[in-house]
Amino acid sequence: MESKLYKEIKDRFTEYLTEKKLRKTEERYIILKEICAFSGNFDINELYEKINEPVFHISKSTVYNTLGLLLKAGLVVSHQISTLSVKYELKRLAETHLHLYCTQCGMVRDVKNSNLKSFIYAMQTPKFTPEFYSLYVYGICWKCEKKLKKKVKNGNKKAL
Amino acid sequence: MESKLYKEIKDRFTEYLTEKKLRKTEERYIILKEICAFSGNFDINELYEKINEPVFHISKSTVYNTLGLLLKAGLVVSHQISTLSVKYELKRLAETHLHLYCTQCGMVRDVKNSNLKSFIYAMQTPKFTPEFYSLYVYGICWKCEKKLKKKVKNGNKKAL
DNA sequence: ATGTATGCAAACCATTTGCAATGAC
DNA sequence: GTCATTGCAAATGGTTTGCATACAT
Protein backbone atom coordinates (compact mmCIF):
# COMPACT_ATOMS: atom_id res chain seq x y z
CA MET A 1 0.00 0.00 0.00
CA GLU A 2 1.44 3.30 -1.02
CA SER A 3 0.51 6.13 1.33
CA LYS A 4 -0.41 9.57 0.04
CA LEU A 5 2.53 10.99 1.96
CA TYR A 6 4.94 8.58 0.31
CA LYS A 7 3.66 9.37 -3.15
CA GLU A 8 4.21 13.06 -2.66
CA ILE A 9 7.65 12.77 -1.13
CA LYS A 10 8.70 10.17 -3.65
CA ASP A 11 8.01 12.68 -6.42
CA ARG A 12 10.13 15.29 -4.73
CA PHE A 13 12.94 12.77 -4.28
CA THR A 14 12.73 11.84 -7.95
CA GLU A 15 12.98 15.50 -8.92
CA TYR A 16 16.04 15.84 -6.71
CA LEU A 17 17.73 12.77 -8.19
CA THR A 18 17.02 13.93 -11.70
CA GLU A 19 18.28 17.42 -11.07
CA LYS A 20 21.51 16.15 -9.52
CA LYS A 21 21.89 13.43 -12.17
CA LEU A 22 21.83 10.66 -9.58
CA ARG A 23 20.41 7.18 -10.13
CA LYS A 24 16.92 6.09 -9.25
CA THR A 25 17.61 2.74 -7.66
CA GLU A 26 15.09 0.33 -6.20
CA GLU A 27 16.91 0.44 -2.85
CA ARG A 28 16.49 4.18 -2.51
CA TYR A 29 12.75 4.03 -3.04
CA ILE A 30 12.31 1.10 -0.67
CA ILE A 31 14.16 3.01 2.02
CA LEU A 32 12.12 6.16 1.44
CA LYS A 33 8.91 4.19 1.61
CA GLU A 34 9.77 2.70 4.98
CA ILE A 35 10.77 6.12 6.27
CA CYS A 36 7.37 7.49 5.30
CA ALA A 37 5.70 4.73 7.30
CA PHE A 38 7.15 6.02 10.58
CA SER A 39 4.84 8.38 12.42
CA GLY A 40 7.69 10.17 14.18
CA ASN A 41 11.38 9.79 14.86
CA PHE A 42 13.39 6.64 14.21
CA ASP A 43 17.03 5.59 14.32
CA ILE A 44 19.18 3.78 11.79
CA ASN A 45 18.65 0.38 13.39
CA GLU A 46 14.88 0.64 13.52
CA LEU A 47 14.92 1.59 9.86
CA TYR A 48 17.44 -1.07 8.89
CA GLU A 49 15.51 -3.84 10.62
CA LYS A 50 12.21 -2.72 9.16
CA ILE A 51 13.62 -2.75 5.64
CA ASN A 52 15.19 -6.16 5.91
CA GLU A 53 12.19 -7.88 7.42
CA PRO A 54 11.71 -10.65 6.59
CA VAL A 55 13.66 -11.06 3.39
CA PHE A 56 14.85 -8.28 1.15
CA HIS A 57 18.43 -7.30 1.81
CA ILE A 58 19.75 -3.77 1.77
CA SER A 59 23.09 -3.08 3.44
CA LYS A 60 23.67 -0.57 6.18
CA SER A 61 26.03 1.38 3.92
CA THR A 62 23.19 1.92 1.49
CA VAL A 63 20.84 2.96 4.26
CA TYR A 64 23.41 5.50 5.47
CA ASN A 65 24.03 6.65 1.93
CA THR A 66 20.34 7.14 1.21
CA LEU A 67 19.69 8.92 4.49
CA GLY A 68 22.53 11.25 3.59
CA LEU A 69 20.91 11.99 0.24
CA LEU A 70 17.52 12.61 1.80
CA LEU A 71 19.09 15.00 4.29
CA LYS A 72 20.75 16.92 1.46
CA ALA A 73 17.50 16.93 -0.48
CA GLY A 74 15.80 18.50 2.53
CA LEU A 75 13.23 15.71 2.85
CA VAL A 76 14.52 14.25 6.10
CA VAL A 77 16.07 15.90 9.14
CA SER A 78 18.33 14.43 11.79
CA HIS A 79 18.30 14.95 15.52
CA GLN A 80 21.37 13.94 17.44
CA ILE A 81 20.33 13.89 21.04
CA SER A 82 22.66 11.64 22.95
CA THR A 83 26.03 10.26 21.96
CA LEU A 84 24.55 6.88 21.24
CA SER A 85 21.72 7.63 18.89
CA VAL A 86 21.04 9.84 15.93
CA LYS A 87 17.33 10.11 15.30
CA TYR A 88 15.85 10.88 11.90
CA GLU A 89 12.46 12.19 10.95
CA LEU A 90 10.60 13.21 7.81
CA LYS A 91 10.98 16.97 7.57
CA ARG A 92 7.31 17.23 6.76
CA LEU A 93 6.36 15.74 10.14
CA ALA A 94 9.17 17.34 12.10
CA GLU A 95 8.08 20.86 11.21
CA THR A 96 5.24 20.84 13.66
CA HIS A 97 6.92 18.61 16.21
CA LEU A 98 8.92 19.26 19.31
CA HIS A 99 10.79 16.51 21.05
CA LEU A 100 10.51 15.46 24.65
CA TYR A 101 13.67 13.69 25.77
CA CYS A 102 13.78 11.81 29.06
CA THR A 103 17.22 12.22 30.58
CA GLN A 104 16.68 9.08 32.67
CA CYS A 105 15.69 6.47 30.10
CA GLY A 106 16.53 8.14 26.79
CA MET A 107 12.97 7.99 25.44
CA VAL A 108 12.10 10.53 22.74
CA ARG A 109 8.47 11.51 22.26
CA ASP A 110 7.31 13.74 19.43
CA VAL A 111 4.62 16.25 20.32
CA LYS A 112 2.64 18.26 17.82
CA ASN A 113 2.48 22.01 18.33
CA SER A 114 1.17 24.23 15.60
CA ASN A 115 2.19 27.57 17.14
CA LEU A 116 5.81 26.62 17.22
CA LYS A 117 6.62 27.11 13.57
CA SER A 118 5.35 30.65 13.33
CA PHE A 119 6.88 31.63 16.66
CA ILE A 120 10.29 30.46 15.60
CA TYR A 121 10.24 31.89 12.11
CA ALA A 122 9.14 35.23 13.53
CA MET A 123 12.41 35.54 15.43
CA GLN A 124 15.23 37.69 14.19
CA THR A 125 18.35 35.84 13.10
CA PRO A 126 20.78 38.40 11.68
CA LYS A 127 23.32 37.27 9.08
CA PHE A 128 21.69 33.87 8.92
CA THR A 129 19.07 32.32 6.64
CA PRO A 130 17.04 29.77 8.60
CA GLU A 131 15.85 26.63 6.83
CA PHE A 132 14.75 24.41 9.63
CA TYR A 133 14.68 24.15 13.41
CA SER A 134 14.40 21.59 16.11
CA LEU A 135 13.34 21.99 19.68
CA TYR A 136 14.20 19.47 22.36
CA VAL A 137 12.72 19.66 25.80
CA TYR A 138 14.74 17.66 28.31
CA GLY A 139 13.16 16.36 31.45
CA ILE A 140 11.73 13.33 33.18
CA CYS A 141 9.01 11.16 31.76
CA TRP A 142 6.12 9.90 33.75
CA LYS A 143 7.44 6.37 34.18
CA CYS A 144 10.86 7.47 35.37
CA GLU A 145 9.32 10.00 37.74
CA LYS A 146 7.41 7.20 39.44
CA LYS A 147 10.56 5.12 39.78
CA LEU A 148 12.48 8.04 41.23
CA LYS A 149 9.81 8.73 43.83
CA LYS A 150 10.02 5.13 44.99
CA LYS A 151 13.79 5.40 45.34
CA VAL A 152 13.53 8.57 47.41
CA LYS A 153 11.02 6.89 49.67
CA ASN A 154 13.51 4.06 50.21
CA GLY A 155 16.10 6.62 51.27
CA ASN A 156 18.29 6.28 48.19
CA LYS A 157 20.16 9.57 48.00
CA LYS A 158 22.78 8.59 45.45
CA ALA A 159 22.52 8.59 41.65
CA LEU A 160 20.49 11.40 40.18
CA MET B 1 40.70 36.57 38.47
CA GLU B 2 37.60 34.80 39.71
CA SER B 3 34.47 35.93 37.92
CA LYS B 4 31.23 36.53 39.76
CA LEU B 5 29.61 33.83 37.64
CA TYR B 6 32.27 31.31 38.59
CA LYS B 7 31.94 32.08 42.28
CA GLU B 8 28.24 31.46 42.23
CA ILE B 9 28.37 28.28 40.18
CA LYS B 10 31.32 26.98 42.17
CA ASP B 11 29.22 27.20 45.32
CA ARG B 12 26.42 25.24 43.72
CA PHE B 13 28.92 22.61 42.53
CA THR B 14 30.35 22.36 46.04
CA GLU B 15 26.87 21.84 47.45
CA TYR B 16 26.28 19.10 44.90
CA LEU B 17 29.56 17.35 45.68
CA THR B 18 28.88 17.53 49.41
CA GLU B 19 25.36 16.23 49.08
CA LYS B 20 26.46 13.29 46.93
CA LYS B 21 29.54 12.66 49.13
CA LEU B 22 31.91 13.18 46.22
CA ARG B 23 35.42 14.63 46.51
CA LYS B 24 36.30 18.25 45.96
CA THR B 25 39.41 17.91 43.83
CA GLU B 26 41.54 20.71 42.45
CA GLU B 27 41.00 19.36 38.91
CA ARG B 28 37.23 19.68 39.15
CA TYR B 29 37.39 23.32 40.15
CA ILE B 30 39.95 24.19 37.51
CA ILE B 31 37.72 22.65 34.85
CA LEU B 32 34.64 24.48 36.13
CA LYS B 33 36.50 27.77 36.17
CA GLU B 34 37.52 27.42 32.54
CA ILE B 35 33.97 26.47 31.59
CA CYS B 36 32.69 29.65 33.20
CA ALA B 37 35.10 31.69 31.12
CA PHE B 38 33.39 30.66 27.87
CA SER B 39 30.76 33.12 26.72
CA GLY B 40 28.80 30.46 24.84
CA ASN B 41 29.16 26.92 23.58
CA PHE B 42 32.40 24.96 23.49
CA ASP B 43 33.49 21.42 22.72
CA ILE B 44 35.68 19.00 24.65
CA ASN B 45 38.82 19.90 22.71
CA GLU B 46 38.46 23.62 23.15
CA LEU B 47 38.03 23.04 26.87
CA TYR B 48 40.86 20.53 27.10
CA GLU B 49 43.32 22.79 25.30
CA LYS B 50 42.34 25.81 27.36
CA ILE B 51 42.91 23.93 30.60
CA ASN B 52 46.29 22.55 29.65
CA GLU B 53 47.71 25.80 28.33
CA PRO B 54 50.56 26.22 28.79
CA VAL B 55 51.50 23.92 31.64
CA PHE B 56 49.03 22.32 34.02
CA HIS B 57 48.02 18.84 33.05
CA ILE B 58 44.57 17.35 33.39
CA SER B 59 43.74 14.25 31.37
CA LYS B 60 40.89 13.96 28.95
CA SER B 61 39.31 11.24 31.09
CA THR B 62 39.06 13.69 33.93
CA VAL B 63 37.60 16.35 31.70
CA TYR B 64 34.96 13.89 30.47
CA ASN B 65 34.32 12.74 34.02
CA THR B 66 33.86 16.28 35.32
CA LEU B 67 31.63 17.30 32.44
CA GLY B 68 29.49 14.28 33.24
CA LEU B 69 29.20 15.39 36.84
CA LEU B 70 28.31 18.94 35.90
CA LEU B 71 25.62 17.63 33.56
CA LYS B 72 24.16 15.52 36.36
CA ALA B 73 24.37 18.45 38.72
CA GLY B 74 22.35 20.48 36.23
CA LEU B 75 25.01 23.19 35.90
CA VAL B 76 26.02 22.42 32.33
CA VAL B 77 24.00 21.23 29.34
CA SER B 78 25.14 19.44 26.23
CA HIS B 79 24.07 19.95 22.64
CA GLN B 80 24.88 17.22 20.17
CA ILE B 81 24.41 18.73 16.77
CA SER B 82 26.39 16.72 14.27
CA THR B 83 27.95 13.29 14.61
CA LEU B 84 31.35 14.78 15.10
CA SER B 85 30.85 17.35 17.78
CA VAL B 86 29.13 17.52 21.11
CA LYS B 87 28.88 21.08 22.33
CA TYR B 88 28.58 22.04 25.98
CA GLU B 89 27.35 25.21 27.59
CA LEU B 90 26.74 26.58 31.06
CA LYS B 91 23.05 26.00 31.76
CA ARG B 92 22.83 29.53 33.12
CA LEU B 93 23.82 30.98 29.74
CA ALA B 94 22.02 28.42 27.65
CA GLU B 95 18.62 29.20 29.15
CA THR B 96 18.21 32.35 27.15
CA HIS B 97 20.09 31.13 24.09
CA LEU B 98 19.06 29.57 20.86
CA HIS B 99 21.58 28.06 18.50
CA LEU B 100 22.11 28.89 14.87
CA TYR B 101 23.77 26.00 13.08
CA CYS B 102 25.18 26.43 9.59
CA THR B 103 24.64 23.23 7.65
CA GLN B 104 27.44 24.20 5.26
CA CYS B 105 30.36 24.92 7.57
CA GLY B 106 29.21 23.56 10.92
CA MET B 107 29.45 26.88 12.73
CA VAL B 108 27.30 27.28 15.85
CA ARG B 109 26.30 30.76 16.97
CA ASP B 110 24.48 31.41 20.21
CA VAL B 111 21.78 34.08 20.08
CA LYS B 112 20.11 35.59 23.09
CA ASN B 113 16.33 35.66 23.13
CA SER B 114 14.49 36.49 26.30
CA ASN B 115 10.99 35.53 25.11
CA LEU B 116 12.00 32.00 24.38
CA LYS B 117 12.06 30.66 27.91
CA SER B 118 8.55 31.73 28.81
CA PHE B 119 7.14 30.63 25.45
CA ILE B 120 8.54 27.15 25.83
CA TYR B 121 7.63 26.65 29.46
CA ALA B 122 4.08 27.79 28.68
CA MET B 123 3.60 24.80 26.39
CA GLN B 124 1.72 21.74 27.52
CA THR B 125 3.82 18.59 27.89
CA PRO B 126 1.53 15.90 29.30
CA LYS B 127 3.09 13.09 31.35
CA PHE B 128 6.42 14.83 31.25
CA THR B 129 8.23 17.19 33.63
CA PRO B 130 10.43 19.59 31.65
CA GLU B 131 13.75 20.67 33.11
CA PHE B 132 15.51 22.24 30.22
CA TYR B 133 15.22 22.83 26.50
CA SER B 134 17.36 23.59 23.52
CA LEU B 135 16.42 25.11 20.22
CA TYR B 136 18.55 24.75 17.13
CA VAL B 137 17.85 26.67 14.00
CA TYR B 138 19.52 25.11 10.98
CA GLY B 139 20.32 27.17 7.95
CA ILE B 140 23.03 28.96 6.05
CA CYS B 141 25.33 31.55 7.53
CA TRP B 142 26.20 34.75 5.84
CA LYS B 143 29.67 33.66 4.74
CA CYS B 144 28.50 30.39 3.22
CA GLU B 145 25.63 32.14 1.47
CA LYS B 146 28.13 34.38 -0.28
CA LYS B 147 30.23 31.41 -1.36
CA LEU B 148 27.18 29.55 -2.65
CA LYS B 149 26.07 32.52 -4.73
CA LYS B 150 29.47 32.61 -6.36
CA LYS B 151 29.27 28.91 -7.17
CA VAL B 152 25.84 29.28 -8.74
CA LYS B 153 27.14 32.12 -10.88
CA ASN B 154 29.93 29.85 -12.08
CA GLY B 155 27.35 27.30 -13.11
CA ASN B 156 28.16 24.73 -10.45
CA LYS B 157 24.99 22.69 -10.07
CA LYS B 158 26.42 19.74 -8.14
CA ALA B 159 26.96 19.24 -4.41
CA LEU B 160 24.54 21.06 -2.22
C1' DA C 1 29.80 1.75 -22.75
C1' DT C 2 30.27 4.74 -18.84
C1' DG C 3 30.51 5.82 -14.38
C1' DT C 4 27.36 5.80 -10.21
C1' DA C 5 25.53 2.71 -6.50
C1' DT C 6 25.74 -1.27 -3.70
C1' DG C 7 27.64 -4.07 -0.05
C1' DC C 8 31.24 -6.06 2.24
C1' DA C 9 35.19 -5.42 5.20
C1' DA C 10 38.37 -2.45 7.22
C1' DA C 11 39.35 2.09 9.13
C1' DC C 12 38.16 5.90 11.97
C1' DC C 13 37.63 8.44 16.01
C1' DA C 14 35.00 10.37 19.94
C1' DT C 15 33.75 8.40 24.04
C1' DT C 16 33.84 4.83 27.54
C1' DT C 17 35.95 1.34 30.33
C1' DG C 18 39.55 -1.11 33.21
C1' DC C 19 42.89 -0.67 36.35
C1' DA C 20 47.05 0.69 39.04
C1' DA C 21 48.65 4.72 41.42
C1' DT C 22 47.30 8.85 43.83
C1' DG C 23 45.22 11.67 47.13
C1' DA C 24 40.70 13.59 49.63
C1' DC C 25 38.38 12.61 53.64
C1' DG D 1 43.28 3.78 56.38
C1' DT D 2 39.60 3.79 53.14
C1' DC D 3 37.80 4.35 48.90
C1' DA D 4 36.80 7.86 45.21
C1' DT D 5 39.52 10.02 41.55
C1' DT D 6 43.05 10.51 38.29
C1' DG D 7 45.31 9.30 34.02
C1' DC D 8 47.02 6.13 31.01
C1' DA D 9 46.02 2.51 27.67
C1' DA D 10 42.86 -0.46 25.60
C1' DA D 11 38.12 -1.40 24.18
C1' DT D 12 33.82 0.01 22.18
C1' DG D 13 30.65 0.97 18.64
C1' DG D 14 28.31 4.09 15.47
C1' DT D 15 29.66 6.02 11.23
C1' DT D 16 32.70 6.53 7.29
C1' DT D 17 35.81 4.94 3.77
C1' DG D 18 37.89 1.92 0.06
C1' DC D 19 37.16 -0.95 -3.38
C1' DA D 20 35.44 -4.81 -6.37
C1' DT D 21 31.09 -5.99 -8.39
C1' DA D 22 26.56 -4.82 -10.13
C1' DC D 23 23.55 -2.07 -12.65
C1' DA D 24 21.06 2.60 -14.13
C1' DT D 25 21.49 5.52 -17.84
Residues A74, A102 within the same domain: no
Q: Considering A51, A77, A94, which residue would you say is the last residue of a domain?
A: A94
CATH number, position B129? 3.30.1490
How many domains is chain B partitioned into structurally?
2
Nearest chain A Cα to B117, which residue?
A137
Residues A71, A101 within the same domain: no
Residues B69, B113 within the same domain: no
Closest nt to residue A86, judged CA to C1': D14
pLDDT tens digits for range B92-149:
998 888 889 887 777 788 898 888 888 888 888 889 999 888 888 888 889 888 877 7
Helix (H, G, I), strand (E, B) or coil at A51: helix
Residues B24, B57 within the same domain: yes
Q: A23 in contact with B at a CB cutoff of 8 Å?
A: no
Residues A101, A130 within the same domain: yes
Q: Do A19 and A13 form a contact (C-beta atoms < 8 A)? A: no
Interface list for B 93-132 with A (CB within 8 A): 98, 100, 102-103, 109, 111, 113, 119-120, 123, 125, 127-132
pTM of the model: 0.82
Domain that holds residue A118: 97-160
Q: Considering A94, A129, A144, which residue would you say is the last residue of a domain?
A: A94
Closest nt to residue B26, judged CA to C1': C24
Q: Smallest CA–CA separation between A142 and chain B, in Å?
A: 5
Q: Which residues make beta-bridge pairs with B139?
A: A130, B102
pLDDT tens digits for range A13-65:
999 999 999 999 999 999 999 999 999 899 999 999 999 887 778 999 999 99
Residues B79, B131 within the same domain: no
Residues B1, B46 within the same domain: yes
Residues A112, A85 within the same domain: no
Whether the CB of A72 is less than 7 Å away from nucleic strand C comes out as: no
CATH number, position A26? 1.10.10.10
Nearest-CA neighbor of A45 among A88, A2, A6, A76?
A: A88
**Alpha carbons A36 and A70: distance in angstroms, whole number:** 12
> How far are the Cα atoms of A73, A104, B35, B36, B54 from residue B91, in angstroms, in the given order?
34, 18, 11, 10, 28
